[in-house]
């Protein structure tokens, strides 16, 4: 005997509703995944541009312009810009600043989400949320690498690659070797120390005894010369003349936004 199935209108409506809900959930998942790998320009004052690292042409940047891995962002004279990364981390660029977004929350083979920004030249202010062990965030210059978590900092790179780091809250692990090669930190002061060596890392070169790693804590600073050598370390004060600049005060006001 042939069986007859009867589907009532109410059942059809229920099935369609469930299917639409499932589609929305899947799309939301993709959106969150995509959003975690993108940044967004949230503020532009003056002129800013971006380009693919392998391209020649520059594109004008306005508020709500997305930025992704493999892009370079540049500000011009009398210009500022703010980048928001995964809605957690903010990087502000002073006039005449260029940064390369080398990685943006990319998952490594060890299932660690890694972000790496290279400050080519200029001055940036970064407000980076606290990370767990499965997330790494670093801001590098041509002569130093800074591993960051739960930190407010200022980092500058001069035309000759001399770099200066100031930490306003939290702490930063800085070295003149790639951040990935710093597995553990054994000291907690501004006194530099040599990494263990000699041994082979990241290719055929031998670890130099001149390589160093140190921790820079709240209201401390370090300056590294163009050869990757520590030039100056110490504390700084909010009353210092440099801390009264319009750039510092503007960033502090921006950080107080809800």
CATH no. for residue 179?
A: 2.60.120.1440
Range of 145's domain? 40-255
Three state DSSP letters for the chain: CCCCCCCCHHHHHHHHHHHHHHHHHHHHHHHHHHHHCEEEEEEEECCEEEEECCCCCCEECCCCCEEECCEEEEECCCCEEEEEECCCEEEEECCCCEEEEEEEEEECCCCCEEEEEEEEEEEEEEEECCCCCCEEEEEECCCCEEEEEEEEEEEEECCCCCEEEEEEEEEEEEECCCHHHCCCCCCCCCCCEECCCCCECCCCCECCCCCEEEEEECCEEEEECCCCCEEEEEECCCCCHHHHCHHHHHHHHHHCCC
Examine residue 46 and state whether it is found in any structural domain, yes or no: yes
- The answer to whether 116 and 109 are in contact (CB under 8 A) is no
Phi, psi angle pair for 29, to nearest 5°? -60, -45
Whether residue 24 lies inside any domain: the answer is no
Q: How many domains does the chain have?
A: 1
Rounded Cα gap, residues 206 and 224, in angstroms: 22
Beta partners for residue 116, in sequence order: 103, 138
pTM over 0.85: no
Residue 2 in any domain: the answer is no
Per-residue pLDDT of the chain (258 residues; tens, 9 = 90+): 555 555 555 555 555 555 554 444 444 433 334 444 679 999 999 999 999 988 999 999 999 999 999 999 999 999 999 999 877 899 999 999 999 999 998 888 888 899 999 999 999 999 999 998 899 999 999 999 999 999 999 999 999 999 999 999 999 999 996 555 444 444 445 655 444 444 333 443 444 447 899 999 999 999 999 999 999 999 999 999 999 999 999 999 999 987
In a domain, 15, yes or no: no
17 occurs within a structural domain: no
Q: How far apart are CA 8 and CA 28, in angstroms?
A: 31
Q: Is residue 4 part of a domain?
A: no
Q: Examine residue 32 and state whether it is found in any structural domain, yes or no.
A: no
Is 16 a member of any domain?
Answer: no
Give the per-residue pLDDT at 37: 60
């Amino acid at each position: 005997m042939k069986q007859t199935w009867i589907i009532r209108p109410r059942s059809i409506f229920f099935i369609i509703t469930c299917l639409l809900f499932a589609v929305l959930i899947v799309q939301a998942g993709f959106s969150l995944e995509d959003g975690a790998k993108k940044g967004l320009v949230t503020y532009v004052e003056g002129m800013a541009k971006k380009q693919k690292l392998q391209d020649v042409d520059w594109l004008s940047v306005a508020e709500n312009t997305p930025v992704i891995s493999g892009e370079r962002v540049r500000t011009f004279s009398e210009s500022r810009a703010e980048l928001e990364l995964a809605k957690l981390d903010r990087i502000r660029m002073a006039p005449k600043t260029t940064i390369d977004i080398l990685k943006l929350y990319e998952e490594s083979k060890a299932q660690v989400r890694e972000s790496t920004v290279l400050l080519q030249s200029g001055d940036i202010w970064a407000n980076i949320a606290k990370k767990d062990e499965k997330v790494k965030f670093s801001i590098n210059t041509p002569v130093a690498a800074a591993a960051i978590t739960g930190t407010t900092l200022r980092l500058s790179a001069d035309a000759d690659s001399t770099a200066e780091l100031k930490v306003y809250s939290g702490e930063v692990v800085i070295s003149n070797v790639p951040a990935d090669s710093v597995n553990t930190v054994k000291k907690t002061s501004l006194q530099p120390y040599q990494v263990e060596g000699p041994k082979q890392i990241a290719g055929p070169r031998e670890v130099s005894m001149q390589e160093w790693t140190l921790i820079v804590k709240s209201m401390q600073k370090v300056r590294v010369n163009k050869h990757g050598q520590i030039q100056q370390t110490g504390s700084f004060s909010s009353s210092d003349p440099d801390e009264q600049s319009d750039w510092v005060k503007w960033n502090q006001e921006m950080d107080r936004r809800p």
